[in-house]
Amino acid sequence: MDVNSNTKHAQAPWNKGKLTGQKPPLKQKEIWAIRIHLQLAKQTRELALFNLAIDSKLRGCGLVSLRVQDVVHGAQIASRAVIMQR
């Protein structure tokens, strides 16, 4: 079968009918629902990461590249941290 021939069996694009592009931001009600769900499930780590993401407005790639050294100075937790986004 010739690859360049126009056939009736053309494959549909993977994203046909799906929303593409930037997603709308979470609503305040959705944020609190997620926080309560994580608290009730006793998922402290995930709750801390979620709160940090919301409060710092970091994107996912910035959040996962964050290290303990970025927010701790000795035995003290820093009140502020500077994260350079790529």
| Lowest mean pLDDT segment, chosen from 1-5, 40-44, 57-61 | 1-5
Dist. CA 50–CA 58, nearest whole Å:
10
* Ranges of each domain in the chain: 28-77
Q: For 7-39, what is each residue's pLDDT tens digit?
A: 567 888 888 888 888 888 899 999 999 999 999
Tokens of 5: 């021939």
- 41 band by pLDDT with thresholds 50, 70 and 90: very high
| DSSP, residue by residue, 6-69 | --TTPPPPTTTTS--SPPPPPPHHHHHHHHHHHHHTT-HHHHHHHHHHHHHT--HHHHHT--HH
Q: To the nearest whole percent, how much of the chain has pLDDT over 70? A: 85
Residue 57 has pLDDT above 70, yes or no: yes
Higher pLDDT, 56 or 47: 47
